[in-house]
Amino acid sequence: MPQVLTMRGPNQESTVRARNLRREQTAAESKLWACLRNRQLGDVKFARQVAIGPFFADFCCRDAKLIIEIDGVTHETPDELASDARRTAWLEAQGYRVIRFRNEEMMGDLDFVLQKIQQSL
CATH architecture of 26-120: 3-Layer(aba) Sandwich (3.40)
pLDDT at position 110: 92
Torsion of CA 103, 108, 112, 116, to 10 degrees: 0
- In this model, does residue 8 exceed pLDDT 90? no
CA distance 50 to 21: 10
Give residue 20's pLDDT band: very low, low, confident or very high (50, 70, 90).
Answer: low
Q: What is the mean pLDDT of the chain?
A: 83
- In this model, does residue 100 exceed pLDDT 70? yes
Range 84-104 average pLDDT: 93
- In this model, does residue 77 exceed pLDDT 60? yes
Enter the pTM of the model. Answer: 0.78
